[in-house]
Amino acid sequence: MSRIHLLSPRLANQIAAGEVVERPANIVKELVENSLDAGAVHIDVDAEQGGVKLLRVRDDGIGIGKDDLSLSLSRHATSKITTLDDLEAVGTMGFRGEALASISSVSRLTLTSREKTANDAWQVKAEGREMQAEISPAAHPIGTTLEVRDLFFNTPARRKFLRTEKTEFSHLEDTLKKLALSRYDVAFTLRHNQKVIHSLRPASRMIDREKRVASLLNPQFMDNAVHIETEAAGLTIEGWVGLPTFSRSQADMQYFFVNGRAVRDKLVVHAIKQAYRDVLYHGRQPAFVLYLWLDPKLVDVNVHPTKHEVRFRDGRLVHDFIFRSLHRALGDIRPEQPTGGSISEAGHSSASVNSETSTGAEAGEFQGQNRLNWQNANSGSAASPGYQFQPTSNGFGDRPSQGAVAEQLRSYEQLNQAASSHAAMSHAALGTNTPQPLPGEDREDLPPLGFAIAQLHGIYILAQNAQGLIVVDTHAAHERITYERLKVAVDQQGIQSQPLLVPETLHVSEREADAAEQYADEFKLLGVELARMSPESLMIRQIPVLLQQANVGQLITDMLGDLIEHGASDRILAHRNELLSTMACHGSVRANRKLTIPEMNALLRDMEDTERSGQCNHGRPTWTQMTMPELDKLFMRGR
């Protein structure tokens, strides 16, 4: 008797359903993607008991003809691809033709549809047991409706793995959020147990898109987000990235789309984490909604049953493009006048941050900085036309001495003669009962961070700007300024390397040794010279000077792992920046250091001119703002 036999259609579909249908959320994804491919502009989703009892998806797309209804429930039946060339450049959300067959094998499915050119609608039903579907006439407007009832009614083992109604609906809602974020031109409605949860109209204008993002994620996200749009090498990335001060304890506000398809790709996550690494507090997660567009031929979407993962033909190019775009966007943010920002031209980034939200540091989400609008440093607009200051340069090359730091602070007074004279008047006024106005207090060109009025306990600078009170952590702010100048100085000098007196042998896997040979030129640019001694061993002959005290063997092993996984590694740059960060920390103004008003004002101007000045090297905020309405509320003024 033969031991090999063909699976029955029912069993084959149920096995396929194990890959495609894990919970109701997977069904919503497949059905709504079909609606989008059908050209629908209105999609309604109804769910009962978390989608287990009932899921109904109705659209106004092109519909399905009578002759295609029964075939649509068959495995590998699709209208979206016909040849291998179509598969290599997929332009639709779905293409495998497995979804409806898999869903109908584990539920009671009813499909009703009417084509635009047809006068009548037709309906087909399938209940798992019988794979031969029967077609009957029905009443239905143009479009398609799919009803999925009693999920896993015939596979009780799978039903046991479903979670509570609340949990299942939470997954379903998150899936619809991703789909709604991927298509702003489509209206979506979601109901659960006859209650409307989301009702989203088409969003053609940018302000409408921002409202949709705010309603689906969190209004505070848009209040603390930077809009970016960059194009290079045939790649385009656009969307919103949260300010470093708006971070999360979990990765629950991370949405990335490739050609309109929501994905969770390791390469993309790695590139974004690298872009935030220098400004994000330990253990925090960034928030973003980003869209990557590229030629469909350069990305393979057929690498995962649920299409959550993709494979890029040139992963290194994509990784570097994402990293550089976000790194530049975050670095170019500057405090700006409360006049609002604008969306950038291609190749640059800008931001406008709403200034009407409440402050707070809940769960580490420092949001006091959203009081000011933000300006792209490359936009050509000065921070304040009436007050232009040039940053000092004290020739950082080695660890700054206390004398160098003191000299830098002394030079602050020379930077801002206008502020010095006004500050002197402010000092003189402190002993009188007649308050004197601050410089530029009634002018439109008042600097974004205002002018210093006092220092609190030798730690915080208190400054007044157009909106109210600015509080600056002196050490944290100066630490970031010093750190950025150190990086510039070292970049100008290049990475200095030195040969090892006694070359070190490193034992690795054969795959890692192959990677060392493949990326030999990249290692040399970073000051590392490697030689292959055997199939599984390398010799380290030269290393960067900055890595003399580091565990070079472990560092190179980690770099090889990055190169194999992502095609790129910045371990040496990261280690260098850690050293520079330590140097900047020790070389910055310490607590209880008394600063003069001119020194404090010059520090504020340097913050306005320094990249990433909103956070110190460890990701902590450097300043926050309390507006006049907040202060009035605190003291119950006007009540």
| DSSP H helical ranges for 570-627 | 571-586, 597-608
**Final residue in a domain of this structure, among 200, 225, 250:** 200
Tell me how far CA of residue 300 lies from CA of 86, 228, 270, 290, 420, in angstroms. 12, 25, 19, 19, 61
**Final residue in a domain of this structure, among 166, 200, 234:** 200
Residue with tokens 């699709």: 78
319 and 457 fall within a common domain: no
pLDDT at 213 over 70: yes
77 and 151 fall within a common domain: yes
Residue with tokens 């079909």: 34
Of 266, 276, 318, 325, the closest CA to residue 293 belongs to 318
How do residues 461-489 score in pLDDT, each as one tens digit?
Answer: 999 998 899 999 999 999 999 888 888 87
d(Cα 406, Cα 38) in Å, to the nearest integer? 68
Radius of gyration in angstroms for the set of CA atoms belonging to the chain, rounded to a whole number: 30
pLDDT at 389 over 50: no
d(Cα 58, Cα 121) in Å, to the nearest integer? 14
| CATH at residue 375 | 3.30.230.10
373 and 518 fall within a common domain: no
pLDDT at 400 over 60: no
Report if residue 395 sits inside a domain: no
d(Cα 281, Cα 619) in Å, to the nearest integer? 4
d(Cα 291, Cα 294) in Å, to the nearest integer? 10
426 and 473 fall within a common domain: yes
Report if residue 566 sits inside a domain: yes
For position 96, what pLDDT does the model report?
67
239 and 310 fall within a common domain: yes
pLDDT at 266 over 80: yes
For position 478, what pLDDT does the model report?
92
- Cβ(455)–Cβ(598) below 8 Å: no
pLDDT at 240 over 60: yes
For position 337, what pLDDT does the model report?
42
52 and 110 fall within a common domain: yes
Report if residue 388 sits inside a domain: no
Report which DSSP code applies to 55: E
440 and 364 fall within a common domain: no
Report if residue 2 sits inside a domain: no
AA letter at 238: E
Least confident span in 284-288, 510-514, 579-583, 619-623: 579-583
Tell me the three-class secondary structure of 506-537, residue by residue: EECCHHHHHHHHHCHHHHHHCCCEEEEEECCE
AA letter at 94: G
Report if residue 143 sits inside a domain: yes
| CATH at residue 54 | 3.30.565.10
Query: Please, what is the end-to-end C-alpha distance for the chain in angstroms?
Result: 92
Task: Using pLDDT thresholds of 50, 70 and 90, give the confidence band for residue 370.
Answer: low
For position 368, what pLDDT does the model report?
53
Does the predicted TM-score (pTM) go above 0.85?
Answer: no
How do residues 421-445 score in pLDDT, each as one tens digit?
Answer: 444 444 444 444 444 445 545 555 6
Assigned token pair, 408: 């830098």
d(Cα 72, Cα 74) in Å, to the nearest integer? 6
d(Cα 337, Cα 134) in Å, to the nearest integer? 67
Report if residue 3 sits inside a domain: no
Strand order across the 261-262 sheet: 261-262, 254-258, 288-293, 235-242, 225-232, 348-349
Report if residue 410 sits inside a domain: yes
**What is the Cβ-side half-sphere exposure of residue 446, based on CA atoms within 13 angstroms?**
21
Q: Is 355 exposed, middle or buried (0-12, 13-18, 19+ CB in 10 A)?
A: middle
476 and 355 fall within a common domain: no
d(Cα 616, Cα 589) in Å, to the nearest integer? 13
**Final residue in a domain of this structure, among 169, 200, 231:** 200
Q: Which long-range contacts (CB under 8 A, 24 or more apart) does 396-404 make?
A: 396/482, 396/485, 396/486, 396/489, 397/489, 397/490, 397/493, 399/583, 399/586, 399/587, 400/482, 400/583, 400/587, 401/587, 404/587
Q: Is 346 exposed, middle or buried (0-12, 13-18, 19+ CB in 10 A)?
A: exposed
Domain containing residue 125: 9-200
The phi, psi pair for 594, rounded to 5°, reads: -75, 125
Report if residue 34 sits inside a domain: yes
Strand order across the 460-464 sheet: 451-456, 460-464, 468-473, 623-627
d(Cα 607, Cα 621) in Å, to the nearest integer? 12
Percent over 90 (pLDDT), the chain? 42
Split into its structural domains, the chain has a count of 4
The phi, psi pair for 453, rounded to 5°, reads: -120, -20
Strand 460-464, strand 468-473: pairing? antiparallel
pLDDT at 12 over 80: no
How do residues 244-259 score in pLDDT, each as one tens digit?
Answer: 888 888 888 999 999 9
Of 638, 627, 635, 631, the closest CA to residue 357 belongs to 627
pLDDT at 241 over 90: yes
Of 5, 189, 32, the closest CA to residue 103 belongs to 32
Least confident span in 363-377, 435-449, 503-517, 596-610: 363-377
The phi, psi pair for 86, rounded to 5°, reads: -65, -40
Strand, helix or coil at 117? coil
d(Cα 615, Cα 281) in Å, to the nearest integer? 9
Strand, helix or coil at 488? helix
Residue with tokens 């993709």: 310
Task: Using pLDDT thresholds of 50, 70 and 90, give the confidence band for residue 346.
Answer: very low
How do residues 537-583 score in pLDDT, each as one tens digit?
Answer: 999 999 888 777 778 888 888 888 888 877 777 777 787 788 778 77
| CATH at residue 526 | 3.30.1370.100
413 and 375 fall within a common domain: no
Residue with tokens 């530049």: 328
| CATH at residue 407 | 3.30.1540.20
d(Cα 255, Cα 292) in Å, to the nearest integer? 11
Of 79, 61, 62, 72, the closest CA to residue 117 belongs to 62
d(Cα 413, Cα 158) in Å, to the nearest integer? 72
Report which DSSP code applies to 498: E
How do residues 509-546 score in pLDDT, each as one tens digit?
Answer: 999 999 999 988 888 877 889 999 999 999 999 988 87
413 and 527 fall within a common domain: no
193 and 93 fall within a common domain: yes
183 and 302 fall within a common domain: no
How do residues 70-125 score in pLDDT, each as one tens digit?
Answer: 888 887 777 777 777 777 777 778 776 778 888 888 899 999 999 988 989 999 99
Report which DSSP code applies to 74: S
Task: Using pLDDT thresholds of 50, 70 and 90, give the confidence band for residue 366.
Answer: very low
pLDDT at 363 over 50: no
For position 558, what pLDDT does the model report?
86
